[in-house]
């Protein structure tokens, strides 16, 4: 069983490694441990917490794991309302609806009465596959699909048994429908009437799940449970937590990463009305900062603005983006470790050769809700309210900072306004910071909850980022487009080196950097990888390595097709052969639905095509694009998606639309890039870190390949192929391949 000190979002390569390293360590809880989990959560089927005792006793003997216990996940109120606890962070991907749909399907619940709520750092809410708390790697539905089906089926079986005992009949003679048990002679009992008795019964270890042909909830386009609250502004996020007596803190950070303070003059800051304390605190990466604690955010900000701070910048590397690019180019010419090996001799005699260099900048996550963490300390205990992708690891980190035992720390997971990987960092930086500030405030005599809040500028300038990358390719191919040799070099920081995943770097290569290279095309490639150390914090960004590798692969494949005068779709289909049926199906669906090859485009428009697999799902895009006033315009997007069985078609559609828009943010000139000068991040807000506006949004149609196979992830796969499809369309219009993001048409 994996411990819960791993970072929160696992790229595909790390998923595979973790799966190989999993052990089947006993997970059955002792009765006392199980009751601690259920009691702390305050969850019990039927809203009768004391009945968790009966279930805990019965199920412990049966050998069920905490993640398999209905009492931690299902609450049925006397009026029939069913509340489902989700074991993931909801930050826009739709798990607050998708997971309840899965459970409600097997429970045979009345969907109109189904509600959802967030979980905590209790062990019941670990990922059942990895044995750790995690929202990431597009694993939520994928890994909890069977889990939530079985939870619903177990709860339904207990309700049937309770009804059978009440009516003195065989449970096999009963059936359920929309929250009601139906018995002989028309007898009926609502779930709310039976819940208390049901929870006194043993939990069945084995259950029979529905045949997918009988699904009435799974697969139905369903409005999200939280849609009304979010669209009306009534949804609470982590930033909205309000506790009695709560104070707010903001932190002054150094201009360059890792710098420490030399002098602090806080006289003016302490004079600001509402400021309660000015505190020197340690920051991530060995840096130092100053926290200003006040009655509210504005008072704290004014206090921070009034600080007079001097920093020691001599001891840290001051990164400059232009110099860094030159260093990367020099490094790309050196020998290095190989991820793929192939004979490069055919390059010298290949009839056609293609050489290309690609540059990808740092990118900030920039979620709409900036980072925040609220901490309440009491004697021997800490309680946190935070939107986190990794509550288990964050609670362990909080315990270390606060000198507490892990069981003395409780994290209440809050709905988050986006994250894209930033709320799942191995160092737990924003949670640790919240705890450091709360600890310092308490030491200063402030016995109150403290919300540490980042501004948008703090968020964008304060790290972490998707790494900057340089790719260099030299490809030899023949007249038919057959690749004879592909020599490729990749330069970029490692995400996992220096973290708890450092041991998984093999032969000096971080697998998160190379995922998406070569596959699914059977190409003779030699891939050389360099991981320079740079004083810029880096982290996974939605779709991780595929954010750059998909662009490289799919634009170069298009280049070869153009050079050999082949249709880009037909060329890809030829390369797939019989080895990639899901890629073929997704691409063909996008082609068929878009009218590609059949519809005549208006003058000035061109088709662009790309297909890519990440996190076990395949997305193909066929786009229409144009150039207006010298700027690229994405006019229309048609997506073909293969993610196996779809739980909620509306969520899949929303994820692809959102991912496509995020992919567009990498492309548009003048935005979507982080640059550094003298060690300082030059961007600070959406005025200089551009994001697409509503006028940039193209028409998007999403189509899914039908499948009954268990679902795969959809939070990230829609992002990588958008940029290359767009770039391929622009290249067909201008005759010039695009080699950098954001696009440069000059």
d(CA 84, CA 91): 17
pLDDT of residue 62: 58
Residue 235 half-sphere exposure, CB side, CA atoms within 13 Å?
A: 22
Q: What is the mean pLDDT of residues 145-168?
A: 98
Q: What is the mean pLDDT of residues 261-288?
A: 98
Kindly report the pTM of this predicted structure: 0.91
pLDDT at residue 574 greater than cutoff 60: yes
User: Which of 2-6, 131-135, 459-463, 573-577 is predicted with the least confidence, judged by mean pLDDT?
Assistant: 2-6
Q: What is the mean pLDDT of residues 493-505?
A: 84
741 or 50, greater pLDDT:
741
User: Which of 45-49, 71-75, 680-684 is predicted with the least confidence, judged by mean pLDDT?
Assistant: 45-49
Q: Are 103 and 84 in contact (CB under 8 A)?
A: yes
Q: Parallel, antiparallel, or unpaired: how do β-strands 450-453 and 247-252 relate?
A: parallel
pLDDT at residue 27 greater than cutoff 90: no
d(CA 667, CA 555): 14
| Nearest in space to 416 (alpha carbons), one of 96, 712, 177, 97 | 96
> DSSP labels for 660-687?
HHHHHHTTSTT-S-B-EETTEE---STT
> DSSP labels for 48-94?
-GGGHHHHHHHHHHHT--GGG-GGGTEEE-TT--EEEEESS--SSSS
Q: What is the mean pLDDT of residues 570-577?
A: 96
pLDDT at residue 59 greater than cutoff 90: no
pLDDT class of 24 with cuts at 50, 70, 90:
very low
The torsion angles phi and psi of 308, rounded to 5 degrees, stand at -120, 105
417 or 52, greater pLDDT:
417
pLDDT class of 502 with cuts at 50, 70, 90:
confident
pLDDT at residue 32 greater than cutoff 80: no
Q: What is the mean pLDDT of residues 188-199?
A: 97
pLDDT class of 504 with cuts at 50, 70, 90:
confident
pLDDT of residue 13: 40
pLDDT class of 56 with cuts at 50, 70, 90:
very low
pLDDT of residue 20: 37
pLDDT of residue 42: 29
pLDDT at residue 433 greater than cutoff 60: yes
pLDDT of residue 447: 96
pLDDT, one tens digit per residue, over 622-649 is 999 999 999 999 999 999 999 999 999 9
d(CA 211, CA 697): 40
| Nearest in space to 664 (alpha carbons), one of 626, 619, 634 | 634
Q: Which domains does the chain have, with CATH numbers?
A: 12-232 (3.30.365.10), 238-315+371-453 (3.30.365.10), 333-363+465-734 (3.30.365.10)
Q: What share of the chain has pLDDT > 90, as a percent?
A: 89
Q: Are 127 and 139 in contact (CB under 8 A)?
A: yes
Indicate the average pLDDT of the chain: 92
pLDDT at residue 206 greater than cutoff 90: yes
Q: What is the mean pLDDT of residues 205-221?
A: 97
pLDDT at residue 19 greater than cutoff 60: no
d(CA 730, CA 123): 50
Tokens 């800051």 — which residue?
269
d(CA 363, CA 127): 28
pLDDT class of 535 with cuts at 50, 70, 90:
very high
Q: Would you give the distance in Å from CA 725 to the centre of its chain?
A: 23
How many beta carbons lie within 10 A of that of residue 261, not counting itself? Answer: 16
d(CA 620, CA 614): 12
- In the three-class reduction of DSSP (H, G, I as helix; E, B as strand; rest coil), residue 264 is classed as strand
pLDDT at residue 696 greater than cutoff 50: yes
> From start to end of 30-81, where are the E strands?
74-76
Tokens 């104070």 — which residue?
247
Q: What is the mean pLDDT of residues 186-205?
A: 96
pLDDT class of 40 with cuts at 50, 70, 90:
very low
pLDDT class of 690 with cuts at 50, 70, 90:
confident
pLDDT, one tens digit per residue, over 649-668 is 999 999 999 999 999 999 99
446 or 33, greater pLDDT:
446
How many beta carbons lie within 10 A of that of residue 1, not counting itself? Answer: 14
pLDDT class of 37 with cuts at 50, 70, 90:
very low
Q: Are 14 and 511 in contact (CB under 8 A)?
A: yes
Burial of 657-683, coded b for 16+ CB within 10 Å and e otherwise, reads bbbbbbbbbbbbbebbbbbbeebbbeb
């Amino acid at each position: 069983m994996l411990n819960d000190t791993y970072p929160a979002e696992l790229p595909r390569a790390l998923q595979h490694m973790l799966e190989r390293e999993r052990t089947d360590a006993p997970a059955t809880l002792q009765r006392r441990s199980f009751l601690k989990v259920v009691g702390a959560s305050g969850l019990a089927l039927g809203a009768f917490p004391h009945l968790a005792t009966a279930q805990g006793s019965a199920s412990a003997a049966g050998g069920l794991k905490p993640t398999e216990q209905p009492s931690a996940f299902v609450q049925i109120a006397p009026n029939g309302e069913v509340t489902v606890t989700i074991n993931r962070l909801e930050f826009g991907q739709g798990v607050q609806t998708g997971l309840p749909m899965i459970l409600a399907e097997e429970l045979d619940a009345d969907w109109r009465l189904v509600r959802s709520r967030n979980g905590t750092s209790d062990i019941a809410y670990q990922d059942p596959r990895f044995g750790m708390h995690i929202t990431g790697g597009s694993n939520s539905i994928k890994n909890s699909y069977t889990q939530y089906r079985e939870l619903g089926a177990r709860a339904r079986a207990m309700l049937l048994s309770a009804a059978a005992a009440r009516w003195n009949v065989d449970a096999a003679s009963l059936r359920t429908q929309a929250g009601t048990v139906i018995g002989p002679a028309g007898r009926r009992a609502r779930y709310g009437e039976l819940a208390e008795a049901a929870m006194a019964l043993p939990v069945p270890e084995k259950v029979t799940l529905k045949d997918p042909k009988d699904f009435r909830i799974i697969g139905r386009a369903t409005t999200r449970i939280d849609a009304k609250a979010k669209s009306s502004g009534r949804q609470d996020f982590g930033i909205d937590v309000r506790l009695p007596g709560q104070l707010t803190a903001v932190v002054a950070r150094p201009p360059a990463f890792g710098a420490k303070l030399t002098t602090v003059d806080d006289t003016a800051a302490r004079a600001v009305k509402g400021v309660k304390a000015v505190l020197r605190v340690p920051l991530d990466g060995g840096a130092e900062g100053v926290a200003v604690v006040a009655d509210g955010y504005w008072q704290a900000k004014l206090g921070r603005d009034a600080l007079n701070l001097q920093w020691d910048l001599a001891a840290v590397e001051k990164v400059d983006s232009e110099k860094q690019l030159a260093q990367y180019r020099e490094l790309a010419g050196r020998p290095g470790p190989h991820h793929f090996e192939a004979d490069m001799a055919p390059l010298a005699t290949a009839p056609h050769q293609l050489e290309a260099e690609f540059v990808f900048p740092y990118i900030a996550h920039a979620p709409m809700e900036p980072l925040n963490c609220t901490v309440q300390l009491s004697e021997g205990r800490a309680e946190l309210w935070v939107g986190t992708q990794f509550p288990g690891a964050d609670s362990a980190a909080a315990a270390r900072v606060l000198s507490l035992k892990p069981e003395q720390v409780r994290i209440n997971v809050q709905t988050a306004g986006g994250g894209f990987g930033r709320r799942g960092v191995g160092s737990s930086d924003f949670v640790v910071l919240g705890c450091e500030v709360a600890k310092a405030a308490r030491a200063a005599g402030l016995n109150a909850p403290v919300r540490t809040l980042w501004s948008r500028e703090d968020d964008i300038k304060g790290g972490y980022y998707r790494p900057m990358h340089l790719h260099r390719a030299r490809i030899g191919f023949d007249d038919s487009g057959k690749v004879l040799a592909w020599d490729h070099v990749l330069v970029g920081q490692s995400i996992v080196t220096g973290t708890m995943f450092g041991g998984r770097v093999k032969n000096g290569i971080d697998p998160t950097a190379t995922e998406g290279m070569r596959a699914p095309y059977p190409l003779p490639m030699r891939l050389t990888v360099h991981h320079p150390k740079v004083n810029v914090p880096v982290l996974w960004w939605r779709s991780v390595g595929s954010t750059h590798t998909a662009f490289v692969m799919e634009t170069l494949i298009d280049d070869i097709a153009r050079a050999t005068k082949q249709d880009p779709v037909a060329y890809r289909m030829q390369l797939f052969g019989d080895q990639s049926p899901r890629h073929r199906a997704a691409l063909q669906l996008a082609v068929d639905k878009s009218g590609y090859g059949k519809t005549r485009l208006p003058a000035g428009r061109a088709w662009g095509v790309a297909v890519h697999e990440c996190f076990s799902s395949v997305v193909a895009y066929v786009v229409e694009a144009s150039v207006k006033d010298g700027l690229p315009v994405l006019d229309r997007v048609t997506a073909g998606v293969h993610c196996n069985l779809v739980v909620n078609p509306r969520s899949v559609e929303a994820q692809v639309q959102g991912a496509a828009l995020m992919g567009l943010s990498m492309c548009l000139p003048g935005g979507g890039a982080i640059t550094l000068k003298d060690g300082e991040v030059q961007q600070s807000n959406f005025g200089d870190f551009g994001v697409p506006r509503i006028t940039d949004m193209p028409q998007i149609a999403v189509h899914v390949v039908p499948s009954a196979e268990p679902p795969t992830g959809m939070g990230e796969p829609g992002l990588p192929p958008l940029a290359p499809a767009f770039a391929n369309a622009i290249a067909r219009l201008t005759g010039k391949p695009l080699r950098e993001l954001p696009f440069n048409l000059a």
